[in-house]
Structure 1
C-alpha cells in the first residue's frame, strides 16, 4: 500500500503539490481562526443553580431548598448526576450533563424544571442559574485604583457603572464584583422600646416596605393635554426612614426613630480583598462565556476598559492584576520559536552530512505543512490552542524532524546507489 502511494505521488507530482498547497492554505486559515487559550478546559459539562436564603442555618437550607431541588432535577434528560451543597444562607446545585450535550440546551431544560418546582420552596428563596461559564473562565481580574476614595463609593462605581459596561462585551458571561462595601440603610432595633410600644419586628419591616414604594394613578385630560398621576414614595435618606410611622399610641404616631436607630453602613462581609498587602481594594472578575476565544475576549475587554475609563471619577483608573493573555502569548511564541529552531537545525544537519540543498528544502517544507494540518484537525475536533495542545505539537515536531532526516537520507542513499554517481537530481 505504501509503495503504491509513493509511486502514485511520484507519477503525479503536480497533483501532490497542489494538494499540499491547498492543505497549507487551509492550515493557515485554521491557525487564524482557531480558539486560543492558555489553560485547557477539562471541567465537566454542568449547570449551576444558586439559591440565596440569608440568615438560615446550613441544615435548614439543606431541608428546605437543597433537598427539594436535587430530587426534582434528577429526572432531566442526559443528566449524569446531580450534586448539592448547603452552607449558611446559600445553596448550590450542580447538574452534570453528558459531555456531548449542548450547554445552552441543558440550561433551558434546567430553567423549565425550576419553573415547576418554585412553589415547593420558601417564598423569599428564588433559585437562579449560574453564569454560562466554565471553571477556567476567569480570564481577567482588575481593581479600581482610586487613592483617597471611600471603599463604599468605589464599590458603587463598580456595581452601577463599570460592571454593566463590561458585561456588554461579546463573549463575557459575567463580571463578578469583589471588595469594598455595599451601601445599605441599617435599622438597629431596641427590644426594650419594642416591648414598651407593644410592637414586633415584622411590624417594623412591613412599615418600612410599605413606605418605600410608588403608586400610579389614572390619566386625565385638561385643555387637550393628557396628564399621568403618580405618587413618588421611594426612600432617599435616613431621615425619611426615621419618620416612617409604624402605629399609633394614644393618637400619637410611633415612628421608626422611636424604636430604632437608622444609619448608612455597609453590608456584612465574610472577608476582605487585600491587594499585595497594601490594603483593601475594589474590583471585578471577568468570566468568559462557554466556548469563546479567550484571546479575543480579553482584547475586547481591554478596548472597552479604555472607553469606560473616560467616565470614571477623577483620579480613578483600572489596575489589571491578572491577565491570561500574557500566558497565551508566551505559549504561542514558544511554539513558533520551537518550529523555527527545529527547521533550521534539521536543515543544517542535512546540509552538513549530505551537502544537498534540495533534501534540506524538503524538510523545511514538511515541518510547517505538518503543523498546519495539525491545526486543521484541532478545529475539526473543537480543540483550542492551549498549553497542552501546543506542547503536543512542539513534541511532535521533534518526531517529524527525526522521521524527515531518516527518510530523506535513506532516499538520497538509494538514489545515489541506483544512479552510481550520475546527476540523478537533475
Structure 2
C-alpha cells in the first residue's frame, strides 16, 4: 500500500492518465458488455422432440421413446440421467449431461444416433428435432399480430412466412413458431359411407394421391436453336383439379376424389387461441439465444418493425405486448442512481464537516471510477451486466463510501497535526490500510460459501470455465 501511495505522489500525471483510461474504457464497457436479466447459465441439457401424427401416447412411449433411450445410453457419453414424456403424436426426451460437458459435441452424437435408430421406429417415422437447451434463452419481447380483414389462417401464414423470417436476422434472436391462428393446409376429409359404397379404403385414396400428386425432374430438350425446359408437374394447382383426381375405374366409370371425400382449405385442430378484440390473432415470441444481450435483441427487433409493417397488407397491426428490456434498463438506472447519490451525499458530508472542496472532488470522482473498474473487470471475465452483478455493484457502493470517507478524514486529521501534504497522505494511508483491508476481507468471507454451491445456483457464482468434450 505504501509503495502505491508513494508512486502516485511522485508520478501524479501517470495516475491522471490512468483515470482517464478507466473513464473511457469503463463507459465503453457499459455499452459493449452484454446486458441481461440473468447471468449466462450453462446447463448441459439437450432436448429431442419426436413427432408422429396420430400415434397414441402408449405407442409413442413403447415403440419409439423406449428404443431411442436404449440407443442413447449405448452411444452417447457423459449422460447423467434421461427424462422423457410421451404425448399424443409427440415424444420429448431430455438428456442431462455431467457438469462441464460440451453440449455442441453431445448434440452431434445425439443427432447421429437419432438418424440410425429410425429403422427401429414404426413405418413413416421422421428424424427428430434436436435442441440444445439453454436456461439463458428466455423471452425478451412478445409481438401481437392482428388484422381486421384477414382470417386466422392468413394471419398465421403471414406471420410464419413474412414477419418471422425478417425478425430472425436480428443478431441473437431465436423465434419459435407463432402462437395462435391456424396453419393453412389442404384437408381431405374422407366419407366412410361413400368409401364403403365404392369398395375403397383410406389406403387406396392415399396411394392415388401419392402416385398422382408428384413433381419429377425431366431435364431439357434441345430443338433447333432453342433449349426447352421440360416440365412434368403433376401436382394439382387448385381445389377443382384435386377433386378430379381419379381413384378407381370400374368399367367405363371413374371414381374421383370428390366422390368419396371433401377437399377444402383448412388445418389441424387448434390447440391454442389468441383473441384481439374478439378476433383471432397471432403472438410472436422473440427469445434471446445464449450470450446475446437482451437490450441489443429488443432494440434490433424494434428497429425492424416499422420496415416490416410497411411490407404487410393494409389493416395489419403489430403491437409490442411484453418488453424485458424495460426491467433491465430500470435495474441499470437504479444502480447508476445509487452510485451518483452515494457520491453526491458523501461529497456533501465531506464538504460540510471538513470544509475542503478538494476532498469533495476526490470523493465524487473515486466512487464512479471504482465502479467503472468493476464494469471493465466484468467484461474481461466474460460476465454480463445482469441483476446479480448489478446487485453486487450496489453493495460495493457502501464499501466504497466507507473507505473513501475514512481515508479523506484521516488525511485531514494528519494535516491538522501540521504535517506537509505528502507526509500526511502517506501516514494516513499506512495507518488505515490494515483496518480497511480486514473489514473488506470480513465482508468478502461472508460470500465465500457461495462458490461451493453446485448445480444451477453454482453456475451463477463462478467464472466461465473451458468446457470439456463428452
- What TM-score do the two structures reach when normalised by structure 2? 0.82
Q: 1:132 to 1:224 in 2, by over 3 A?
A: farther
Q: Which residue of 1 aligns with 2:70?
A: 71
Q: Secondary structure at the match of 1:27?
A: helix
Q: CA deviation at 1:316?
A: 1.0
Aligned positions, number: 423
1: distance between equivalents of 2:396 and 2:424? 32
3-state SS in 1 of match to 2:189: strand
Q: How does 1:16-95 map to 2 (within 5 A)?
A: 16-42=15-41, 44-74=43-73, 75-95=75-95
Aligned equivalents of 1:131, 1:160: Cα separation in 2: 25
Contact kept in structure 2, 1:132 and 1:290, CA below 8 Å? no
Closer/same/farther in 2, CA of residues 210 and 368 from structure 1, 3 Å limit: same
Tell me if structure 2 keeps the 8 A contact 1:134–1:289: no
Give the CA deviation at 1:208. 1.7
Distance 1:420 1:389 in 2: 41
Matches within 5 A, 1:141-220: 141-220=142-221
**Which stretch of structure 1 is more off in the superposition, 8-17 or 341-350?**
8-17
**Counterpart position of 1:389:** 389
Please state whether the residue corresponding to 1:192 is helix, strand or coil: helix
- Show CA shifts across 1:222-272 (max 9, x none): 112111212222233332222111122233221122222222223212231
SS of corresponding position for 1:186: strand
Q: Distance in 2 between matches of 1:421 and 1:104?
A: 60
1:177-216: CA deviations, max 9, x gaps?
Answer: 1111112222222222222222111111221222221123
Deviations 1:285-340 (A, max 9, x none): 11222211221122122222222111100111211111222222222222221111
Q: Distance in 2 between matches of 1:422 and 1:35?
A: 42
Gaps of 5+ in 2: 426-470
Q: CA–CA distance in 2 between the matches of 1:73 and 1:256?
A: 44
Q: Measure, in 1, the Cα distance between the counterparts of 2:220 and 2:272.
A: 50
CA drift at 1:110: 3.0
2:137/2:290 contact within 8 Å kept: no
Change (3 A) 1:23 1:108: farther
**TM superposition shift of 1:8:** 4.9
Which residue of structure 2 lines up, in the alignment, with residue 269 of structure 1?
270
Pair 1:303-2:303 in alignment: yes
CA distance 1:14–1:317, shift in 2 (3 Å):
same
Q: Bigger CA drift: 336-345 or 412-421? A: 412-421
> Do 2:136 and 2:290's aligned partners in 1 also have CA atoms closer than 8 Å?
no
C-alpha change, 1:218 and 1:380, in structure 2 (3 Å) is closer
Cα separation, 1, equivalents of 2:376 and 2:353: 34
Say whether 1:107 aligns with 2:107.
yes
- 1:391 Cα deviation from its structure 2 partner: 2.1
Unaligned runs of 5+ in 1: none
Provide closer, same or farther for how the CA distance between residues 43 and 143 of structure 1 changes in structure 2, counting only shifts above 3 A. Answer: farther
CA distance in 2, matches of 1:236, 1:221: 27
User: Structure 1 residues 70 and 404 mapped into 2: Cα distance closer, same or farther (>3 Å)?
Assistant: farther
C-alpha distance after superposition, 1:76-125 (max 9, x if no partner):
34544332222111111223345544544443343233333333333323
Quickly say closer, same or farther: Cα 1:135–1:390, change in 2 above 3 A. Answer: closer
Cα contact 1:132–1:289 (8 A) shared by 2: no
1:369 match: 369
Larger CA deviation: 416-425 vs 391-400: 416-425
Residues 257, 224 of structure 1: alpha-carbon distance in 2 compared, 3 angstrom cutoff: same
Distance in 2 (CA, whole Å) between partners of 1:230 and 1:423 is: 95
Q: Is the 8 A contact 2:350 2:359 kept in 1?
A: yes
Structure 1 equivalent of residue 433 of structure 2: none
TM-score by length of 1: 0.90
Other structure's SS at 2:110 match = helix
Once residues 9 and 26 of structure 1 are traced to their aligned partners in structure 2, the CA distance between those partners, rounded to angstroms, is 21
For residues 121-149 of structure 1, give each alpha carbon's deviation from its aligned partner in whole angstroms, at most 9, with x where no partner exists.
Answer: 33323212237764543111111131232
Q: Secondary structure at the match of 1:31?
A: helix
Change (3 A) 1:23 1:216: same
1:406 is matched with: 406
